[in-house]
Amino acid sequence: MVDVDASYAEIARRPSQIVMRRLFGSGIPWWSLLIFSLVVVAAIGGDNITPHDPNGLDLGSAFKPPSWLEGGSIDYLLGTDNLGRDIFSRIMAGASVTLTVAIYAIVISGGIGALIGMVSGYFGGVVDTIIMRVVDIQMSIPSLALALVIATVLSPSLTTVIVVISITYWTWYARIIRGEILSLKERDYVALAKVAGCSTATIFVRHLLPNILNTLLVLASLQVGQVIIFEASLSFLGLGIQSPDVSWGLMLADARNYIGNAWWAITLPGVAIMLTCLSANLIGDWLRDTLDPKRRQL
Amino acid sequence: MLSYILRRVMHGVVSIIGASMLIFVISRMSGDPIVLLLPVDAPQSAIDAMRETMGLDRPIWMQYLIFAGKALTGDFGNSYRWQMPALNLVLDRLPATIELALSALLFSIMLAVPLGVLSAVNRGGWIDTVGKGFAMLGQAMPGFWVGLLLILVFSVHLNWLPAFGAGGVSHIILPAIALGWYPVAAQTRIIRSAMLDVLDSDYIRMGRALGAPERLLVWKYAFRNAAVPLVTVLGVYFASMLGGAFVVEVIFAWPGLGRTVVEAVFARDFPVVQAGVLFTSVLFVVSNLLVDLSYGLIDPRIRHG
């Protein structure tokens, strides 16, 4: 009985209250939050807090192993690469590029995708058919292949990466949001809003948007890891971030050329990718479970 | 059944036509291919003449129709770089990519099936925990990094397997693992949840009541039904590997379509990029189509729905 009461109490609460309650309850991915916060701090701090200049060449100290190994020095915590650049500083600098790409790409693809999905679901009919056809068509091209075609056209840069990823992912949001809207628009309060003379814009912003915010937040948080890997792949291929900007994918591409000389240069940037994605995914899972009990089994 | 197949095939054809339009329009946005073909100081008259012979003075929809008409007869134009028909180049490299994708698929299934089944049978046990951890790690590690780590360990340090090129079986092992790594997590999850459903069903309980050995129940009766959801999405995974192959082929210098297209992107070799990406999309659509049709074959409710 206690459980039933508790769940009723939960329904009666607003999502923000549920988040607050869960935040101080159990099941919180503390480690993930800690790691992700460190990445955010490194990204915000930028060049001001890196121990060395991420692009500072020092050929005299090339291929220094991490500090805990023989021959390493505490000066270069995670060792140096073939040009004597400090790997720890470069990983910190890479965090800023990675998060910048992730934030822009998610906001753009999520914004466009959600709007198109809302329009498609709300208006239905021909508009819906056309939009969903376009989504199908775009999904029939593997995303990396599509990215390659776009990359042939635009010269590689931070902006290009953001454009490519946004174009790749909007369909994902559009499909899911459309599905949500299809059921939301049948609700009485939407019909009543229409009868009461609300404009379509008002219905969208005041009655539909608040109801899909949770879904959007969950989708976005689960997308962070995918975007990070996508950016790293593009940069690794040489179609993404270009030097002197630093990206984890680019570091791996460089390190590939001297894979026999410095194992730390090929493992550590990958560990940064892995830990960031892992913590982002776990935070996403936790948000999903907290905000959207229906999707727990997904 | 026939109308179901026809409807699905039409759907696929529309997708491919749409994809070809998208690819065509994006590549045309890059501006004039003539700039790449003629010397910088070419006189205006030469540019105009070239434009006319290539049909670039016509409206874009007409250009697309010409492109599509030629593409249907297998003419994607000549590769700027290799001086051979782009289609021949693509067809030449395609088998290696398919070989790699199939090997990767085999690897992922060989890992996912035991992991998924054992996770379901020992739900909450240590193997379930290992499986979950593996799934989380798998989705956080980019395939290309897995490939680099494999090279570091098995080629550079242990010197067991070759790091690049194609040849015997030894050459395909590392790239297949790198490419098959990512879907293992999702496949394990599918098998696990399907097995949990089936193990909970009446006929398994009946079998247990009749005293059938547990191993027989799990592998013969339960797994056969639990495998259906995985089998039906294998085409989807095959298709997604065609996309992943672009990066993995570059790392292992695998002589497939992916590496060819990436090289063509750097050389601005548009005919090869167009033909390569369009072919990948066709394969993608066809394998998804086969998935849909297999659903229809297995489950009659779908083809009548």
Note the pLDDT tens digit of each residue in A247-288: 888 888 888 888 777 788 888 888 889 999 888 888 888 887
Residue ranges of domains in chain B, CATH in brackets: 2-71 (no CATH), 97-255 (1.10.3720.10)
Residues of A in contact with B250 (CB under 8 A): 237
- Amino acid code (one letter) for A203: I
Only one residue has tokens 């999702």, namely B186
Residue B277 forms contact with A (CB below 8 Å):
yes
Tell me how far apart the alpha carbons of residues B79 and B76 are, in angstroms, rounded to a whole number: 9
Name the residue among B16, B244, B266 with its Cβ closest to that of A140. B16
Test A282 with B136 for CB contact under 8 angstroms.
yes
Identify residue B280 by its one-letter amino acid code: T
Residue A11 has pLDDT above 60, yes or no: no
Residues 6+ apart with CB under 8 A from A32: A278, A279, A280, A282, A283, A286
Residue of B nearest to A275 (CA): B140
**Comparing C-alpha atoms, which of B68, B87, B70, B81 is closest to residue B17?**
B68
Contacts A–B by Cβ distance under 8 A: 137
Residue type, position A226, single letter: Q
What is the interface pTM, i.e. ipTM, of the complex? 0.79
Q: What is the pLDDT of residues B24-65, one digit of tens each?
A: 887 777 656 666 666 667 777 777 777 776 666 677 777 788
Angle at A129 between CA A124 and CA A131, to 5 degrees: 95
pLDDT digits (tens, 9 = 90+) for A98-151: 888 999 999 999 999 999 998 888 888 888 888 888 888 887 777 788 887 887
Assigned token pair, A50: 């890196």
B271 touches chain A (CB under 8 A): no
Tell whether B280 lies on the interface with A, counting CB pairs under 8 A. Answer: yes
- For residue B273, give the nearest of A148, A256, A277 by CB distance: A148
- Is the Cβ pair B243, A143 closer than 8 Å? yes
Helical (H) or strand (E) element with A76: none
Is A237 within 8 Å of B262 when comparing Cβ atoms? yes
**Which of A223, A215, A284 shows the shortest CA–CA distance to A101?**
A223
- Helix extents (H) in B125-222: 126-140, 143-150, 169-199, 202-209, 214-216
Spatial separation of the C-alpha atoms in residues A227 and A117, rounded to whole Å:
20
Is some CB atom of chain A closer than 8 A to the CB atom of B253? no
Residues of chain A in contact with residue B149, where contact means CB-CB under 8 angstroms, are 266-267, 270
Q: What is the mean pLDDT of residues B263-275?
A: 80
For residues A153 and B140, the model is more confident at B140
- Alpha carbon B287 to chain centroid, angstroms: 9
Element housing A236 (H / E):
helix A209-237
Which H, E and C letters describe A32-49, residue by residue? HHHHHHHHHHHHHHHHHC
Residue from A32, A141, A281 whose CB has the most chain B CBs within 10 Å, to mutate:
A141
Is the model's pLDDT at B246 over the cut of 80? Answer: yes
Contact A148 B139 (CB under 8 A): no
**How many beta carbons lie within 10 A of that of residue B123, not counting itself?**
13
Q: Compute chain B's Rg from CA coordinates.
A: 24
Rounded distance between C-alpha atoms, residue A154 and residue B27, angstroms:
10
My answer on whether omega of the bond before A244 falls inside 30° of 0, hence cis, is yes
Of B23, B137, B247, the CB nearest to A149: B23
